[in-house]
Chains A and B, each alone.
Chain A
Amino acid sequence: MNAVLQPEIRNRPGPPLWLLFELTYRCPLHCVFCYNPTDFKSVGAELTTEDWIRVLGEARALGSVQLGLSGGEPLARDDLEPIVAEAHALGYYTNLITSGVGLTEARLQALKRGGLDHIQLSFQDSTRQMNDFLSSTRTFELKAKVAGLIKQYDYPMVLNVVLHRLNIDHVEEILEMAERLGADYVELANTQYYGWAARNRDQLLPSREQLQRAEAATQRFRERVGQRMRIFFVVPDYFERRPKPCMNGMGSIFLTITPDGTALPCHAARMLPGIEFPNVRASSVESVWYDSDGFNHFRGDSWMREPCRSCPEKHKDFGGCRCQAYMLTGDAANADPVCDLSPYHSIVTEAVARADAAPPSLERPLIFRDHR
């Protein structure tokens, strides 16, 4: 019997090293670029504290080491502190990904005591909030206060700013503000077009010229501040010729648990049709990761078609993003059309051409994430 089982064991995928808890879809903000599902209101009840803690233990036993705590706004859960404390005790490196809304000193103190390792503070903005932000009004005051607390509690100050057509021309001002906040790291991440952002894509995609100006401004800033502040500029994949190695391949290292316990191989996978994703209420993490169709469907490369199947780069980018392939071509098993070898690549280049040609003003109103 062992002889029969052995090859399977040898070929067993590695553990879910990176575990992401999307603790809740609740959020005080209404960002136009949010990647949460647009029908998040219809998602079932949130897991209990006991559920989350059980999942922590099961995943840790498989070899999970990184824990991301996200949402929605994870601080909307009043049990964030015991979840962090349990994760720390189990040996996770714990990362809080937050807008800062609700991060009081009392809560930060409790999180620090529980062993929270790292905080990433995001700037959520829309045109209106961006104006607030750039004119140092309420949003900025909140950020400045939270940034001060983060430094006071001896965490590196890590900022994440989502860029898009409506704010990318302000990169210099954004970086100057980050400098005033004492940021150690700034990630300028161009919007990825999932969820609410996909709905708003044509209003959010910058032009090539905007992108080039923003990169040049970032470079000038880097030269001025040197090592004091490290800046990562993430180019939107629509401007690339090869797709991103999304999730390092589905089912390779990444496991997301959504608020209702549905387990996903990437943040956005719930949209993929014809695949049933398992739920940790009904299945152990081990069976979710190793046995479920949801995690095996796009694992490895046997699902690939041409041009990916015979591509020498297939183990470099894994065919790109399954969700993007589905959204843009209608079939998740196609190559990500960001790749210029995809027969659907013109979908991407045409979107960029429209962005290049469009006037800077808005022709259609943005759809703000809301609960209606």
Chain B
Amino acid sequence: MTNSVSSTRPALGRGLRFQWEPAQNAHVLLYPEGMIKLNGSAGEIMKRCDGKRTVADITAELERTFAAQGLDKEVEAFVAMAVEKRWLEIQP
């Protein structure tokens, strides 16, 4: 089963920079004159949003990596929020 979110391919929003920041011990998003420090799961999702992987791919990969199940709701909710905030863009 695929729904509308899970088949999309999110990528980093235009004009943003995403990276691991040792001084913050966190993944961060940089934008003009600002920085958002991401929590662990947000960072793990964001780093897989390369415009090639679908949300379903990302969920499956996270479930494998962290030996977890049923992460789809959490991942989809984060992607929807991040698109809303323009941290992510959906690739056609």
User: Chain A residues with Cβ under 8 A from B19's Cβ?
Assistant: 91
**How far does the alpha carbon of A49 sit from the alpha carbon of B33 in the complex, in Å?**
24
Nearest CB of A to B87, in Å: 14
7 A-B interface contacts by CB (under 8 A): A15-B23, A66-B34, A91-B17, A91-B19, A93-B31, A117-B17, A117-B32
The residues of B with any CB-CB pair to A shorter than 8 Å are 14-15, 17, 19, 21-24, 28, 30-35
Q: In whole angstroms, what is the CA distance A248 to B20 when docked? A: 25
A45 to chain B, nearest CB (A): 29
Residue numbers in A under 8 Å from B14 (CB-CB): 154, 156
A17 at the interface (CB under 8 A from B): yes
Report which of A62, A65, A95, A156 forms a contact with B35, defined as CB distance below 8 A.
A65
Identify which of B15, B17, B24, B33 contacts A18 (C-beta below 8 A). Answer: B33
Complex alpha-carbon distance, A65 and B28, angstroms:
10
Q: Within the complex, what minimum Cβ distance (angstroms) separates A308 from chain B?
A: 27
Q: A17-B35, A95-B32, A118-B32 are contacts. A63–B23 as well, Cβ < 8 Å?
A: yes
> What does the 1/0 interface line of A62-78 toward B look like (CB < 8 Å)?
11011010000000000
Closest Cβ of chain A to B85, distance in Å, is 14
Report whether A118 and B15 are in contact in the complex, using a CB–CB cutoff of 8 Å.
yes
Q: Any chain B CB within 8 A of the CB of A229?
A: no
A231 at the interface (CB under 8 A from B): no
Q: Which residues of B contact A93 (CB under 8 A)?
A: 17, 30-32, 35
Residue A266 at the chain B interface, CB threshold 8 Å:
no
The contact of A66 among B15, B22, B24, B30, by CB within 8 Å, is B30
Tell yes or no: A158 within 8 A of B by CB.
yes
In the complex the two chains form, is B30's CB within 8 Å of A63's CB?
no
| Bitwise interface map of A from 104 to 120 toward B, beta carbon under 8 Å scored 1, else 0 | 00000000000001101
The residue from A62, A63, A117 contacting B15, defined by CB atoms under 8 A apart = A117
Contacts of B35 in A (CB 8 A): 17, 65-66, 93
Residues of A within 8 A of B32 (CB): 93, 95, 117-118, 120, 158
Within 8 A of B (CB), among A184-232: none
In the complex the two chains form, is B24's CB within 8 Å of A156's CB? no
* A63/B33 in contact, CB under 8 A: no
Q: How many A-B residue pairs have CB under 8 A?
A: 39
**Interface members, chain A 283-326 (any B CB < 8 Å):** none
Q: How far is the CA of A15 from the CA of B21 in the complex (A)?
A: 12
Q: In the complex the two chains form, what is the Cα distance from A158 to B32 in whole Å?
A: 10
- A95–B33 CA distance with the chains assembled, in angstroms: 8
Which 3 residue pairs spanning A and B have beta carbons closest together? A63-B23, A93-B30, A118-B32
The residue in chain B whose Cβ has the minimal distance to the Cβ of A68 is B33
Shortest distance between the CB of B51 and any CB in chain A (Å): 16
Q: Are B21 and A66 within 8 A (Cβ)?
A: no
Tell me how far the C-beta of A348 lies from the nearest C-beta in chain B, rounded to whole angstroms. 27
Are A63 and B21 in contact (CB-based, < 8 A)?
Answer: yes
Interface centre among A68, A118, A154 (most CB of B within 10 A): A118
**What is the distance, in angstroms, from A14's C-beta to the closest C-beta of chain B?**
9
Interfacial chain B residues near A62, Cβ < 8 Å = 23
B28 partner residues in chain A, CB cutoff 8 A: 65
Which residues from A are CB-within-8-Å of B24? 63
State the Cβ distance, B21 to closest chain A Cβ, in Å: 7
Q: Tell me the complex Cα distance, A62–B30, Å.
A: 17
**Beyond A63-B21, A65-B28, A118-B15: 13 further Cβ-contacts under 8 Å?**
A15-B23, A62-B23, A63-B22, A65-B30, A91-B17, A93-B17, A93-B31, A93-B32, A93-B35, A95-B33, A120-B32, A154-B14, A158-B32
**Contact partners of A154 in chain B: CB under 8 A:** 14
Tell me the complex Cα distance, A91–B17, Å: 9
| Per-residue interface assignment for chain A, residues 317 to 360, with 1 indicating a CB less than 8 Å from any chain B CB and 0 otherwise | 00000000000000000000000000000000000000000000
Residues of B within 8 Å of A95, CB to CB, are 32-33
Across the two chains, which residue of chain B brings its CB closest to A64? Answer: B23
Inter-chain contacts of A66 with B (CB < 8 A): 30, 33-35
**In the bound complex, how far is the Cα of B14 from the Cα of A155, in angstroms?**
9
Question: B15 to A156, Cβ gap below 8 A?
Answer: yes
Closest chain B residue to A14 by CB distance? B23
**Closest CB of chain B to A309's CB: distance in Å?**
31
- A117-B15, A118-B15, A156-B15 given as contacts; is B21 within 8 A of A65 (CB)? yes
B22 to chain A, nearest CB (A): 8
